[in-house]
Each structure stands twice: as structure tokens, then as C-alpha cells.
Amino acid sequence: MKKITKFKHKKVLVLGLAKSGVSAASLLHKLEAFVTVNDQKPLAENPEAQGLLQEGIKVICGSHPIELLDEGFEYVVKNPGIPYHNPLIKRAVEKGIPVLTEVELAYLVSEAEMIGITGTNGKTTTTTLLYEILNEGGQRPLIAGNIGTVASEVAQTAAKDEKMVVELSSFQLMGTQEFSPHIAIITNLYEAHLDYHGDLGEYWHAKANITKNQTEDDYLIINHDQDHLVKTVGFTKASIIPFSTTQEVEGGAYIKAGGIYFKKERIGDLSSVVLPGAHNLENILCAVAAAKLYGVSNESIMSVLGKFAGVKHRTQFVKEVNGRKFYNDSKATNTLATKSALNAFNTPTILLAGGLDRGNGFDDLIPHLKNVKTLITFGETADKLQQTGQKAGIKTILRVDNVEKAVPAAFENSEEGDVILLSPACASWDQYRTFEERGDIFIKAVHTL
């Protein structure tokens, strides 16, 4: 770990705990900052805060008192989930106090090079796939960020000959100042998280932060098929490596004549890839491009592509029961992700969907529901999804209480050869703490059959 002095004897407020806050507070304490932790959960119910207190870190729990900022803090490190319209954060910005997230700390202390991966969809699959390919190719990768261990924890023990593969959200990237990965990847950009960002411009700008500090010695891998993405990162100084699923691109990764190519070199046959879905071609091309920049052999790349079947909760094959194939796509928390999942299958499909009502409609799903024979809805959006299903002409539409009850209902209304797909198109928070919990309940219900 680099022994930086940026925070030495500086007053730093860590706002919000969870894994990222705990790691940030402990790291700052090691860097000899004067750390104060503030978390909404009362101390008696907050084992994380209690642990930091035992480390000698000042802890204030139970609320976010605005007067905290009168104590002369020089930095605020906030949990990514806390929005910028939070009164305490707004006041910090007004006072000119830098507001960071823990990935900034990770970058500052890491001895290892970083590969940063962001985008609206495909981040987790790309991160995991690239990690597996680099590992197969002997590159000593470490995986961190939104997937696995938080980046600021991994960075503390990362060695110079290792590479940190870090999944990054727009929430994290908004809180960066010096952060600059050697390789940055933006899988795609669509409309998302407007309840957090307020408008599309702020969301796209946050994503573009991944390349704002890159130099001519760095690389930016981007989706050439999206003109708005190309324009959004037009300011970059990094060498742009394009990828495209629709055309040959100069100096980048693409699909051609049933093969995967990078800079005119055929990496291998597309038919050898086991990861399902046309949308995953983007993720594959991102991973291939980054791997080739590190000199990974075609054999290592194709070895992984020949066995990598996906990430849990992302169009994950669960089990085949009496000729019905069950897929868990609980990570699909918006319609865009559900469209991708639906387009991955050309067989009769039973769709399980529903969840938190964020005020949006679902009619943009209609063109993608052509293979859906039965729709099973649950959660706050059940009625809205039912109306969309009716407009799409789906003959059988059922409403159930939750995911657990949706599984046997789907099985009872299925036939041999059908796909039964959980792809909710909604966040999980109306009924479940996380999309992972929702997906795990689905998996358990499938095995209970």
C-alpha cells in the first residue's frame, strides 16, 4: 500500500457505513487522518460503528446532524448510496468541502494498476469475465468494487504485479477527483438512476468521470455502436479502443463471420462461447479487448469463453425441471435489462416480473414480449405489468404475492421446452432487501419443485 500523506492530520468525515464506509474509515485511520464516522443507524443496533469505536475512531450515530460540518472537516467520504441532495452533502458542497467516495481512496493507495468497468448494463458480467480471463492468462488479477470486496480494502494489500479489476457505479464515480484507471471500460449508456441523479446529463457525466483523468498512456474501451456515448467521452486523452457487435471497427474488438476479432486478429469462434444472449456479446468484446491489451493469449481467452456461463442473478441458468429451463435474472432492475434477457431466448417463455414502483411504465417492453406466453406479476408494479401484458396480447396473466409463489405458478402453466425467466424489470425493495435476496428465493423455490 502506498503511504500517502494527503489525509495525514486532516479532519475527515465518513458519512454512512455499510462495507464501503467501514473500509474507508479504517483506511483513513491508518493514514493518520482525524476520522469522524456518522451513520443514521443507532449505535446500539450498529455493530460496524461499534467496531470502529473500538479502533479509536470517533463515531456519531442515530442521525445526520447538519451542524457536524461546523467542525472544520477538510474532506467528506460518503457512502455511494447517499444522494447529493442529502442536506448534509449539499451543505458540504456549498462550503467547498471535497466529497469523495471510497474508490478514490482505493486508487490513491493501490500499488496495482486498475481496470475500471462501468456502464448501465453488463458491468458485473464484464468484470467477472475479465477477471477469469486475466487469471487464466497468468496476469494475477484482483476483483473489487460493487462485486466482491470493496475496492479500498483490496487496494491495501494489492501488489505492483497485480491488477485490480473494479466494477464502478455512477454513484461512486461522482465522488472522484484524481481517480484514473489504466484501462477504463464503458459497456453502454442508457437512461437509469434518474431518481438519484436528477437528469440524464448528470448520470452520463458521472459515468464519463471514469476517463476524465486518463492520459495518453491509458486506454478507454467504449461501445462504438452508441453515438451518444462516443460524444459523451469525446474529451478523453486516453487511447480509444472501440468495440461493436454490428460492424468491423478499426483498432478494436468486433464480431465478423462467426468469429471474435481484435484488431483484425481472429481470437476464436463465436460458436464456442457458452454465455447466452446477444446482449452478452458486448460484455465479451469488452473483456477480450482489455485482455488483449495485456497480451493474454487467444487460447486463454477462448478457454474461459468456452466455460463461462454467466454470473449469479444475471440471466443465470438455475436448473431444468421436466424439460422446463429456469433462469434467474433478478439483477434486471429496469426494463432495459429485462429486454436484454427476453431477447436472449427464442423459445416460449414464462416471464416473472414485478417489484418496486418508481413511477415509470412498462410499455417499452411490449415489442420484446413476442415469445412470452404467460406473464406472472408480483409486487407494487403488478397492476402496471398486467396492463402492459394485456396490450401485448399475452393470453395468460397471473398475479401472485411474491417470487416464492410465482415459481410453482409458472411451472403449473408451463410445458416441456419452455423457458421460465425471473427478470423483474424493477428494483426489489418493496419486498426484499436486495436483488440478490430475491434471486436466492427464486433459486430455492426452483429446487423445491
Give the residue numbers of the binding site.
119-125
- At 444, is the secondary structure helix, strand, or coil? helix
Beta carbons within 8 Å of 271's beta carbon, 6+ residues apart: 258
What distance in Å separates the CA atoms of residue 172 and residue 104, rounded to the nearest whole number? Answer: 9
Please list the alpha-helical segments (H only) found in 354-434: 382-391, 403-412
At residue 441, the 3 state secondary structure works out as helix
Contacts of 84 (CB under 8 A, 6+ apart): 90, 93, 99, 174
Nearest to 313 by CA among 431, 437, 170: 437
Half-sphere exposure of 267 (CA within 13 A, CB side): 31
Does residue 362 contact residue 385 with C-beta atoms inside 8 Å?
yes
The count of residues in the chain is 449
Contact assessment for residue 357 and residue 427, using Cβ atoms and an 8 Å cutoff: no
Binding residues for ATP: 119-125
Dihedral of the alpha carbons of 232, 235, 240, 245, in degrees to the nearest 10: 10
Q: Are 155 and 109 in contact (CB under 8 A)?
A: yes
| Contact assessment for residue 166 and residue 128, using Cβ atoms and an 8 Å cutoff | no
Sheet architecture: strand order including 141-145:
141-145, 163-167, 113-118, 183-186, 219-223, 239-244, 253-256, 259-262, 265-269
- Name every residue whose Cβ is closer than 8 Å to that of residue 388 and which is 6 or more positions away in sequence: 361, 362, 363, 365, 366, 369
The string of DSSP letters for 3-35 reads ---TTTT-EEEEE--HHHHHHHHHHHHHTT-EE
- Strand locations in 219-315 (E): 219-223, 239-244, 253-256, 259-262, 265-269
Burial of 401 (0-12, 13-18, 19+ CB in 10 A): exposed
